[in-house]
Copies of this chain bind each other. A is one copy, B any other.
Amino acid sequence: MVPIKYELIKTDKQTGARLGKVTTPHGSFETPTFMPVGTLATVKTMSPEDLKSMHANIILSNTYHLWLRPGENIIKKAGGLHSFMNWDGSILTDSGGFQVFSLSDMRDITEEGVHFRNHLNGEKLFLSPEKSMEVQNALGSDIMMAFDECPPYPATHAYMKQSVERTSRWAERCLQAHSRKDEQGLFGIVQGGEFEDLRRQSASDLVSLDFPGYAIGGLSVGEPKPIMNRMLEFTTPLLPADKPRYLMGVGSPDSLIDGSIRGVDMFDCVLPTRIARNGTCMTSHGRLVVRNAKYAEDFGPIDDQCDCYTCRNYSRAYIRHLIKCNETFGFRLTTYHNLYFLLNLMEQVRNAIREDRLGDFREAFFEQYGLNKPNAKNF
């Protein structure tokens, strides 16, 4: 029995965006949704209760990092990742591939897998489709990701074609190696960079393997946003309508809206939590760097349109003070706010789909942030 279900509730008449519901062994959540990233079995500075209070239903954790620390066997002995970290909502784990390609040194990619040195102590390691499945099966996440190659952007068509074909072969090996098919759902990852023919080939290969969900990888890796949008427009129609679609590593507010419009259901990104720890907040007036001196005596909230815990109780002046003093409670407050901002944005997106007005919502949002201007900065 496949443990992941997708129910299409309706499509937005203005844009075609999908309002849906994903069910995993740890509950259901409406889509489109954003997944906070908890790399090392914790969303940095947050408690599980913090995440629940902002209505996060699914979080992402990183297989590569947990494989290295504390090791998947400790988590397995703890009863799995949910039990280990006291999170009874849904968990998605990535394959480890992205980190191997982005964090490690001296990687050597073969048909069998990837040899590399880990980023902590230089130890020689080997990650393969089978190993990734073994680790993710030990972690016990609700949604696992197939082990894929993530070529850097830009890549040549020739290289990308080889890579896509290998990723398809690896996806088959992942399916074979996956040992808990009744308890964990495995998603395939469509690659192909900016090449439409390769995206088509990759999607076709993976759909034929009948995964319970599909991710779109290799976007938001440096390419201009119009290219990302064009690729999405081209790719999502290649995927089955009755399965969830996950756009990996995308978390800027404008891209969440534009991805939803192109039929994406799930997103994740370290952006909101990472910039929070640098004192940068997402607000309804654009980005706000609360550590700036001009907020030293500003006793208003981070965002006067926001009703989150941080904005209801704390001033810019206080949060600036905490961050300047490196007090972790400051990072906790900005992290809470940024995650709430994105989760709340996705709720607004879902409500707009429900009411067939996501196109209007996008227009108003882009107008408010000046994102329609030719030289608009990233949000």
B296 pairs with A70, CB closer than 8 A: yes
Measured CB to CB, the closest approach of chain B to A304, in angstroms, equals 17
Chain B residues, CB < 8 A from A46: 329
Chain B residues, CB < 8 A from A101: none
B45 pairs with A321, CB closer than 8 A: no
Cα separation A86 to B315 with both chains bound (whole Å):
9
Does residue A317 face the partner (Cβ distance < 8 Å to B)?
yes
Instruction: Decide yes or no: A329 and B299 within 8 Å by CB, A70-B317, A74-B321, A85-B318 being known contacts.
Output: no
Q: Nearest CB to that of A78 among chain B residues?
A: B299
**Size range of the chain A interface in the assembly:** 35 or more
Chain B residues, CB < 8 A from A324: 69-70
Contact with A86, one of B44, B70, B314, B320 (Cβ below 8 angstroms):
B314
Q: Chain B CB within 10 Å — which of A40, A74, A329 has the most?
A: A329
Cα separation A296 to B41 with both chains bound (whole Å):
15
Chain B residues, CB < 8 A from A69: 321, 324-325
Q: Nearest CB to that of A40 among chain B residues?
A: B325
Copy number in the complex reads 2
Q: At the interface, is chain A mostly helix, strand, loop or mixed?
A: loop
Cα separation A85 to B321 with both chains bound (whole Å):
10
Residues from 15 to 64 in A contacting B, C-beta threshold 8 Å: 40-42, 44-47
Does residue A181 face the partner (Cβ distance < 8 Å to B)?
no
Q: Nearest CB to that of A66 among chain B residues?
A: B321
Chain B residues, CB < 8 A from A79: 299
Can you show 29 pairs from A to B with CB atoms below 8 A apart?
A: A40-B321, A40-B325, A40-B327, A41-B322, A42-B327, A42-B329, A44-B328, A44-B329, A45-B328, A45-B329, A47-B329, A47-B332, A69-B321, A69-B325, A70-B296, A70-B321, A74-B296, A74-B317, A74-B321, A77-B297, A77-B299, A78-B299, A78-B315, A78-B317, A79-B299, A85-B318, A86-B318, A328-B328, A328-B332
Contact with A84, one of B77, B78, B318 (Cβ below 8 angstroms):
B318
Chain B residues, CB < 8 A from A187: none
Q: Which 3 A-B pairs have the closest CB atoms?
A: A70-B321, A328-B328, A42-B329
Cα separation A86 to B69 with both chains bound (whole Å):
36
Cα separation A315 to B313 with both chains bound (whole Å):
31
Cα separation A320 to B40 with both chains bound (whole Å):
12
Cα separation A328 to B330 with both chains bound (whole Å):
12
A331 pairs with B328, CB closer than 8 A: yes
Chain B residues, CB < 8 A from A74: 296-297, 317, 321
Chain B residues, CB < 8 A from A327: 40, 42, 44
Cα separation A377 to B327 with both chains bound (whole Å):
32
Cα separation A321 to B61 with both chains bound (whole Å):
15
Chain B residues, CB < 8 A from A317: 70, 74, 78, 84
Residues from 319 to 377 in A contacting B, C-beta threshold 8 Å: 320-322, 324-325, 327-332
Measured CB to CB, the closest approach of chain B to A294, in angstroms, equals 13
Instruction: Decide yes or no: A41 and B328 within 8 Å by CB, A86-B313, A86-B314 being known contacts.
Output: no
